[in-house]
Chain A
């Protein structure tokens, strides 16, 4: 039952304090930090023979391969590569694409939203209509078209550099370029996802700017001769930071989902690079009633779901702490 005699409004405690008391969000933050450190450090420590393909395909978890008797903690895949290594390098790619893609969308969305909200009037109307049109476009489709368009350019560009390096005998550069080519799809994915995912951020930031620009400190700053750009940077941006942080945390899982979605369909990350989506694709292809190779499906599924769950918990916690009115 709602309390009819509640006091008018008590000052809310500081957002960071609310967040600290949210145990689920703190656990999630710890999990994500731990996972990131493991994904970066552990693949460097693993012995090299685990990283290459071998003839020992489909070794079950915790068993030694028949050929060279190396222990595979999580088993091996169809190419005889160690699943633990694949899983962790997949985590690097998925988390990396999620973070960088979300950061790109954050920069675009924040700038767009700030300009639109601060300019107001016709400019605002036009900019927001544009966002509405873009929102009625099937998002995943546009990412696919962008990826198809950018992929050839980036591959050609990397090839050009490689040839240039070979001609001039730059030691190492040519090799770096050929290994970079394997990861060119990662680069393409980051850019394409970042270019598409900024719409929500732009709308949220614009809404906040509409409120903030009517505040007296903004009027005071303008009266003292501060230019528009200075007001945006010095006064509005600091006040927007927590909202931006919140929606960054909620954009990361969205970008990770899109990346995995495309990789699962075979349009995203390609071998030899791996991501959670491409690992799940490999895992889903081998389920059959006769011989279950469950480790190819279960481990990527568990790690990906746990990470998404943690990101969502953290995002919800941040939203409850800093943006309590928005609800959903």
Chain B
């Protein structure tokens, strides 16, 4: 287990390094600099400003300066928001996105596994058909459609829930549902297909033969195996949800990490952008690693190698 973990951490660091390099270089060769404004600034002032952030000189020297700063765990400072360190900015914005993402993750995995299992156990019944049609429908309604409609119906028309903002539980319900809806569908479809395969296997026939009801057989034996492909999907999903959804945050007026991505690209705020990308990639490799470890706990036949 330990050599596996070490090797995986090593390869993860390489992946993150590659991704940062691509992001930084792309962001710096993009036309337009962080200090371009409508005001005309003299060349000297511009040079001094860029030099203050080590953004002068060739792209290569900028890149090496940034990488050596990263190696000392220094994410740099924002070029847009004066005197804000990138780490402070992330610390302020990430918690909201984490809570929202965690809620959506619980909804997506819980409801998805439940609906998928029900559909598989009653294959071709009305439950199966309704669930699978609902899943396709939910995949076809992106959050920028469902969000405004949820607000219009539950906040403006019925007046049950607040329109937006963040902090109270009632403010969290609509955004979490909106963020989770398509992923409930993906998880349900995966779970259904996977469970259908498992239900055909010999060990389930044995379980039924020894007198277990279908529900017992699924709960005690089949679910454990059928959930493996779902877990593979849940790893990247968790990283994606935890780093915030730009659409949901903008529709429900939540100040979270999603907007960091959008704003930092528009402001050419290269250090903030790279900092956010680092967090995203770190979470992604972390959850993929967690998936591999959970795999071995669920299925003893799988040996870890990397």
Residues of A with Cβ closer than 8 Å to B? 2, 4, 132-133, 136-138, 140-142, 144-146, 148-149, 152-153, 253, 257, 260-261, 264-265, 267, 277, 280-281, 283-284, 287-289, 292, 294, 297, 301, 304-305, 308-309, 312-313, 316, 327-328
- Tally the A-B contacts, defined by beta carbons under 8 Å: 119
Q: Is B31 within 8 A of A280, CB to CB? A: no
18 A–B contact pairs at CB < 8 A? A2-B199, A137-B23, A145-B23, A145-B26, A149-B26, A152-B31, A257-B142, A265-B250, A267-B265, A284-B147, A288-B156, A294-B152, A297-B152, A304-B145, A305-B137, A305-B140, A313-B136, A328-B193
Whether B261 contacts A141 by the Cβ 8 Å rule is yes
| A4 close to B31 (CB less than 8 A) | no
Q: Which residues from B are CB-within-8-Å of A328?
A: 189-190, 193, 229
Asked if A309 contacts B156 (CB within 8 A), the reply is: no
Residues of B within 8 A of A141 (CB): 23, 261, 265, 277, 280
Q: Which of B22-46 contact A (CB under 8 A)?
A: 22-23, 26-27, 29-32
List, in ascending order, chain B residues with CB within 8 A of A261's CB. Answer: 142, 144, 246-247
**Least CB distance, B169 to chain A, in whole angstroms:** 22
B221 nearest CB across to chain A (Å): 15
A133, B250: Cβ atoms closer than 8 Å: no
Q: Is B136 within 8 A of A327, CB to CB?
A: no
Interface size class of B (residues with CB under 8 A): 35 or more
Complex Cα gap A146–B22 (Å): 11
Q: Is the CB of A144 within 8 A of B262?
A: yes
A148 touches B265 (CB 8 A): yes
Q: Contacts of A149 on B, CB cut-off 8 Å?
A: 26, 29-31
Interface flags, B140-162, vs A, CB<8A=1, else 0 = 11101101110110001000000
Shortest Cβ-Cβ A-B pairs, 5 listed: A308-B140, A309-B140, A152-B31, A149-B30, A284-B148
The DSSP consensus for interface residues of chain B is helix
Q: How far apart sit A4 and B204, CA to CA, in the bound complex (Å)? A: 12
**CB distance B144 to A327 under 8 Å?**
no
Residue in chain B with minimal CB distance to A267: B262
Q: Check B193 against A327 for contact (C-beta < 8 Å).
A: yes
Nearest CB of chain A from residue B116's CB, rounded to whole Å: 10
The interface residues of chain B lying within 8 Å CB-to-CB of A327 are: 193-194, 197
A157 CB → nearest B CB, Å: 12
